[in-house]
Amino acid sequence: MALFVLRRLGVMLLTALCLTFVVFFLTNLAPNLEKLAKTQGNARMSDAEVLSWLDRNGYGGPLLVRYGEWLGVMPGWTRLDEPTGEWRGRCLAPGQTPDEAPRRCGLLQGDFGFSTVSDAEVAAIIPERLRLTGILMFWAFAVMVPSALLVGVLAGMREGSRLDRALSTVSIGSTATPEYVSGVIFIVLLASSTTGISPLLSELGWIEGRTLFLGSARSAMDSGVTFWNFTLPVMTIALYGMGYIARMTRASMAEVMTAQYIRTARLKGVSFRNIVLKHALRNALIAPFTVIMLQFPWLLTGVVIVETLFNYNGFGWTLVQAASNNDIELLLACSIVAVFVVLVTQLISDIGYVFLNPRIRIS
């Protein structure tokens, strides 16, 4: 078991290394560096100014060396700024000389680097963003998992029944609607004071504000999560995942319900209710468990859209900002976080599988 976990951690490190190198390579392509120089220097810089800016800010060296600097295996760059006589460098605070500063400052030294778009240390940004996304994910899971399991079990316990057909149609519909479609539909229907049902409700005096729900989750960041500001983003994420998990649960449930031991239980005269709850459910939940764990990586992509749509400044939003502004070190940190989340959830899924299904052994 310990060996298994260890091996998984090794894979995680290797994946993170490969992924960050790919991201590093892509963000350091010449046009991307030019974009960076122009967002950081001046949007209307000339080509000569761009080159000078890149050189002065440490983007001039060979790619591998700079990747090494970021990892912390190569010494950080330093250079003397001629006109001012001040030293500049990767590891230098303003006013420091190379002798006073540490030689290396990279990932190995625990330094995630500096985010150019946010104008702050990456290490200071990521935790707060992750916390906000964590809140959103928590509520999305809290809505998605129980409702998906319920729908799946209800649909799967009598395969082919009218209930099964109805619930399956709903699940397929919800999983076939991507977030950027459902989110917009929700906003138009429920969060506009001129269209949808809000003006109607407002006229009848059934709601206090102008709209039923808020089309922006920004207030959830400062003044806390409320039913009013968080329903739409949570529903948008949850609906998409719900359909998929429900379909998996249904398939698994339907299969279990045809198993020999269920038939035996029925012949013994056990009530249908007890068959479902006591005999079928545990075995039927093994497959959905893996699927639920697989939803974490899916949700990471989902929050990119939902957070941008609903103005919620979490991890997904940060990723969009970093990518659109070519913020190299923030993007690298985001990739590490993504690799970590994906592989840790897979690890949990594998270990959890063992506990749910004693027939499986981890070698």
Partner 1 sequence: MLNTPETHLATHPAAEMYAAEYKAGQLSRREFMVRATALGLSATAAYGLIGLKPALAQRATPPMGGSLRIQQGVLALKDPRTYDWSEMGNVTRGLLEYLIEYNRDGSFSGVLLESWESNADVTQYTLRLRPGVTWNNGDAFTAEDVAANFRGWCDSTVEGNSMAARMGGLVDAETGQAREGGIVVVDDLTVQINLPAPDITLVPGMADYPAAIQHRDLIGTNPLDHGVGTGAYRIADYQVGIAARLEKNPDHTYWGEAYLDDVTFVDLGTDPAAWFAAAEAGEFDMTYQTVGEFVDLFAAVGWEQSDVTTGATLAVRFNQLNAPYDNVEVRRAILEAVDLSVVLELGINGQGTVGENHHVCPIHPEYAELPPMAVDKDAAMARLEAAGQADANFTLISLDDGLGRFTCDAVAAQMRDAGMTVTREVLPGSTFWNDWLNYPFSATEWNHRELGVQILNLAYRSGVAWNETAFANAEFDTLLDQANGIQDAAARREVMARLQQIMQEEAVTIIPYWRSLFRHYRPGVVNADMHPKFEINIHHLGLSA
Positions touching partner 1 (CB under 8 A) are 31, 34-35, 38-46, 49, 52-53, 83, 116-120, 187, 191-194, 209-211, 214-216, 218-219, 229, 308-309, 311, 313, 321, 324-326
Contacts 24+ apart (CB under 8 A), 292-295: 292/145, 292/245, 293/345, 293/346, 293/348, 293/349, 293/352, 294/345, 294/346, 294/349, 295/144, 295/241, 295/244, 295/245
Pick the closer one to partner 1 by CB: 217 or 293.
217
Contacts of 40 (CB under 8 A, 6+ apart): 53, 57, 116
Pick the closer one to partner 1 by CB: 59 or 298.
59
Residue 85 Cβ vs partner 1, minimum distance, rounded to whole Å? 14
Residue 152 Cβ vs partner 1, minimum distance, rounded to whole Å? 33
Pick the closer one to partner 1 by CB: 127 or 146.
127
Rounded-to-integer distance, Cα 153 and Cα 293, Å = 18
Rounded-to-integer distance, Cα 343 and Cα 151, Å = 28
Residue 111 Cβ vs partner 1, minimum distance, rounded to whole Å? 20
Rounded-to-integer distance, Cα 295 and Cα 238, Å = 10
Pick the closer one to partner 1 by CB: 141 or 315.
315
Q: At 170, which helix (H) or strand (E)?
A: helix 162-176
Rounded-to-integer distance, Cα 250 and Cα 90, Å = 55
Pick the closer one to partner 1 by CB: 9 or 26.
26
Residue 32 Cβ vs partner 1, minimum distance, rounded to whole Å? 9
Q: Give the HSE-up count for residue 242: Cα atoms under 13 Å, Cβ half-sphere.
A: 26
Residue 328 Cβ vs partner 1, minimum distance, rounded to whole Å? 14
Residue 118 Cβ vs partner 1, minimum distance, rounded to whole Å? 5
Pick the closer one to partner 1 by CB: 173 or 224.
224
Alpha helices in 29-121 (DSSP H): 30-40, 47-56, 63-71
